[in-house]
Structure 1
Amino acid sequence: MKQVLVLVLTISGFVMQAQNNATLLAHYEAYYKEMKKQGDIQGVINAMTHLNVLAPSQARKDTLAYIYMDQGMNTQALNTIGFEKNANDSDIAIQVKALALKELKQPKLALTFFEEMFNRDQNPVIAYELAELNIQIRNNAEAEKHIIYGLANSKDLKKAFFESQTPYEVPLKTAFKYLNAINIFSKDPKSNIDAAVDVLDEALKEAPNFNMINITKNELLRQKQVLNSQTQTPESKN
């Protein structure tokens, strides 16, 4: 009799626990929808975190990581889904890892995930990221490959820049020309300044509002002036 009573109580406990979990799930699902409707990002994060605790799923983790990344909370995003490369990573997970690692100044690690993004969906927007990151790590040959691809496939796409107080857009093809100039300079900073400036001038004709070109061109000309002053002999200075 005692064993039967214990069994009944155990089963009742499981039923009550399941009911409690179902109630909590319904509550946080409703809470999530309401926070999303109100545009309360912290509320969305709280709701998604509770849902993931109550009913863990990779899809929920990926969504939570994406929200963190979108809010500039890149460390939290990577803490949520990790930064290891997994064959079964969703497209969202790959994107989060790529962008978060880039923002955290980890270009070599970020490249792995941008390359996977490009393998899954070849397009010039991702090629731009690949070219830029390869330039950062001085892999000029790989950067050039993506620049060539981008110049051939950009069509009517635009690229936004945010270094000035007022953000602006330029044709993506012109942005690739800007990267090409940087890559040319990076190959040989002492000898390729003029060649890089020529490419920048060509790009500036296509997009006169391209403020980043003016900044870069002025810096290259400054470096050229420094190099010229260093190579002058005492007689030439006099």
Structure 2
Amino acid sequence: MKRVLVMVLLTCGMTMGAQSNSDLIKHFEAYYKQMQKQGDVQGIINGLTHLNVLSPLADRVDTLAYIYMREGQYVQALNTIGIDKKMDDSDMALEVKAISLKAVKRPELALGFFQEIFKRDPNPHLAYELAELNLQTQQIEEADKNITYGLANAKDDMKKAFYETQQPYEVSLKSAFMYLQALSLYNKDRKANIDGAVDILDAAFKESPNFNLIQITKNELLRQKQMLQAQAAEEKK
């Protein structure tokens, strides 16, 4: 009799628990939709977090991580989605991992995810990201491949944004690739290739006269050239 009573109580408890969980899921689904309607980003994050605890789904996890990324909360995005490379990663998951890892200054890890995105959807904008990351990790030959692809495929209406000034600005994507081409040439020989790199920068500046970063880089290269010339003159004395 006692055993029967225990079984009945356990069954009732499990049924009530299932109903309670289902009710909570319905509640937070409604809450999530309402937060979307109101445009309340923190509310959306809260709703998705509760839903992922109650009933984790890959699509929902990807969406939550993506929202964190869009809000500039890159560490939270990575903590949500992880940094492991998975064969079944969605396009959204790859984008979150790539951009967030780049933002937290892990270019060597970000590179692999950008490469996978490029395999799925090759385009000049992704080629720029790859070229930049390859230069940062001193993989010059790979960077040159990306730059060559970008220069060949960048359209006249394609733009690249830069943020080193207080007011962000855009330049043609082609001139942005020329900027990277100059950096690549310079990195191959930081003494012999200064003039060649400056020539490329000058050509890129004609393409995009508002390209502030070119002027900064050119000034630095010319400063280094003057230092090398001064050192050479000193050694001759």
Whether TM exceeds 0.5 here: the answer is: yes
TM-score normalised by structure 1 residue count: 0.94
Query: Aligned-pair distance for 1:53?
Result: 0.4
- When residues 235 and 175 of structure 1 are mapped into structure 2, their CA distance, relative to the original with a 3 A threshold, is closer
Paired residue secondary structure (2:205)? helix
Query: Aligned-pair distance for 1:235?
Result: 6.8
Q: Over residues 11-69 of structure 1, what are the superposed CA-to-partner deviations in whole Å (9 max), with x where a residue is unaligned?
A: 22222212211211111112112222223222211111100001111111111111112
Q: 2:182 maps to what in 1?
A: 181
Letter of the aligned partner of 1:163 in structure 2? E
Distance 1:66 1:235 in 2: 60
Query: Aligned-pair distance for 1:168?
Result: 1.2
Q: Give the alignment of 1:1-238 within 5 angstroms.
A: 1-155=1-155, 156-233=157-234
Distance 2:221 2:29 in 1: 55
Paired residue secondary structure (2:67)? helix
Distance 2:220 2:37 in 1: 47
Distance 1:165 1:96 in 2: 26
Query: Aligned-pair distance for 1:234?
Result: 6.8
Paired residue secondary structure (1:233)? helix
- When residues 83 and 235 of structure 1 are mapped into structure 2, their CA distance, relative to the original with a 3 A threshold, is closer
Q: Over residues 183-232 of structure 1, what are the superposed CA-to-partner deviations in whole Å (9 max), with x where a residue is unaligned?
A: 11111111111111111110111111111111111111111111111111
TM-score normalised by structure 2 residue count: 0.94
Q: Over residues 90-125 of structure 1, what are the superposed CA-to-partner deviations in whole Å (9 max), with x where a residue is unaligned?
A: 111111111111111111111111111111111111
Query: Aligned-pair distance for 1:6?
Result: 3.1
Count of residues in Structure 1 that have an aligned counterpart in Structure 2: 236
Letter of the aligned partner of 1:25 in structure 2? I
Distance 1:38 1:194 in 2: 56
Give the percent of matched residue pairs that are identical in Structure 1 and Structure 2: 61
Q: Where in structure 2 are there 5+ consecutive unaligned residues?
A: none
